[in-house]
Amino acid sequence: MSRNERSRYPIRVDGPRTLEIEEPVSALNVRVYGGTVNVVGTSDGSPARLEVGELRGTPLNVSCEDGTLTVAYEDLPWKGFLAFLDRKSWKRSAVVSVTVPAATRVEVGVVGASAVVSGIAGRTDIRGVTGDSTLVGLTGEVRADTVSGKVEAQAVTGDLRFHSVSGDLTVIDGAGGSVHADSVSGDMVLDLDPAAKGTDIQLTSVSGEMAIRLPDPADATVEANTTSGKISNAFDTLRVGGQWGAKNITGTLGAGTGTLKATTVSGGLALLRRPSFEAPRTDAAEGPGPHGTHGPHDAPGPRGDAPAGRPAEKKVL
């Protein structure tokens, strides 16, 4: 899209369509109601590409200006997104797939839609009113804010910030970055990779349950508390104490380089030990559940490389 053509945009997309963006893209903003959003980062130098596989109801607006590619409903703003109501009367949905350079900064907002983001090295921001989000292989900073949607993160090595009212957080093979998460009633399950030694973990919840599986040997200063929930500890070097219903787990693992602080008021809390050598995961690998037990756990991953349906048109911006 050349500079003298910018006045023609945004483009209104009212059906299946494929758009190739010739301008360099350094930022992506997607905001949809209903359907699915897939964002994939690539490092092969190819231009950004947008596929709208299915679209029902209101057309989408697409624009690319000053390096920012925007795919959104014009009545669904990014500012104040989490305060947006889930309007059941809206009969609309979109299946959107976007391929961008891995270094792109990504912002995805969904209402009643699922989102999958993979292979991104730039900062990623996820905002969801309802609808689940899956994050795979992200190396940049990640911030996820949801009302009720759950977030699953696999092999995310950048710093992760999570805030939710009732949404759950699941981290699988977390390594390298810190995890700061708070929720009112959502559960939190963290399974840290052995490479995650020395990381900073801080979890807070009111009634949500927590299960944290640490590498063995681990390297962290531990302070975990629950006011009225059950508690479980798999490490002999940590102390379990408390009185009048309140319980805590404290102590040091290894050199104590990392930090683990976990607090829940009425939820249960479990610290689990990850074996030094563990068999490779299968599609239904076992992982810690929120009650401190092991059971089948489906590893999150992209739910399809491309949207359903055949693109009806191809256009170069």
Whether 182 maps to a domain, the answer reads no
Residues 92 and 22 placed together within one structural domain of the fold: yes
Whole-number percent of the chain with pLDDT over 90: 62
Residue in 197, 191, 173, 192 with CA at minimum distance from that of residue 256:
197
Structure tokens at 205: 């919840």
Number of domains composing the chain: 2
Largest separation between any pair of C-alpha atoms in the chain: 72
Q: What is the mean pLDDT of residues 161-183?
A: 92
**Per-residue pLDDT for 314 more than 90?**
no
> Is 0.85 topped by the overall pTM?
no
Burial of 175 (0-12, 13-18, 19+ CB in 10 A): middle
Could you read off the pLDDT of 119-171 as tens digits, one per residue? 999 999 999 888 899 999 999 999 999 988 899 999 999 999 999 999 999 99
Q: Is there a domain that residue 177 lies in?
A: no
> Are residues 71 and 203 both part of a single domain?
no
What pLDDT band is residue 114 in, cutting at 50, 70 and 90? very high
Q: Tell me, yes or no, whether 123 and 203 share the same domain.
A: no
Q: Are residues 285 and 302 in the same domain?
A: no
Average pLDDT, the chain: 83
Domain ranges, residue 55:
1-168+298-317
Amino acid at 25: V
Tokens encoding 185: 């009633």
Lowest mean pLDDT among 196-200, 213-217, 251-255, 310-314: 310-314
Same-domain check for residues 211 and 259 = yes
176 assigned to some structural domain: no
Residue 21 lies in a domain: yes
Does residue 4 belong to any structural domain of this protein? Answer: yes
163 plus 43 within the same structural domain: yes
Note the Cα 223 to chain centre separation in Å.
25
Which residue, 196, 185, 176, 190, is CA-closest to 224?
190
Place 19 in a pLDDT band, splitting at 50, 70 and 90.
very high
**What gap in Å lies between CA 60 and CA 94, rounded to an integer?**
8
pLDDT tens track for 43-88: 999 999 999 999 998 899 999 999 999 999 887 665 655 555 555 5
More confident residue, 193 or 273: 273
The answer to whether residue 64 sits within a structural domain is yes
In the structure, what pLDDT confidence band is assigned to residue 8 with cuts at 50, 70 and 90? low
Q: Is residue 203 part of a domain?
A: yes
DSSP for the chain, please give it: --GGGGGG-SEEE-SSEEEEE-S---EEEEEEEEEEEEEEEE-S-PPEEEEEEEEESSPEEEEEETTEEEEE-TTS-STTGGG----TT---EEEEEEEEETT-EEEEEEEEEEEEEES--S-EEEEESSS-EEEES--S-EEEEESS--EEEES--S-EEEEESS--EEEEEE-SS-EEEEESS--EEEEE-GGGTT-EEEEEESS--EEEEEESS--EEEEEEESSS-EEE--TTSEEE-STT-EEEEEEETT--EEEEEEESSS-EEEEEE-SS-PPP-TT-EEE-TTS-EEE-PPP--S-SS-SS----EEE-
On whether both 28 and 107 belong to a single domain, the answer is yes
Q: Read off the pLDDT of each residue in 232-236 and give the average, rounded to a whole number.
A: 94
User: Within a domain: residue 198?
Assistant: yes
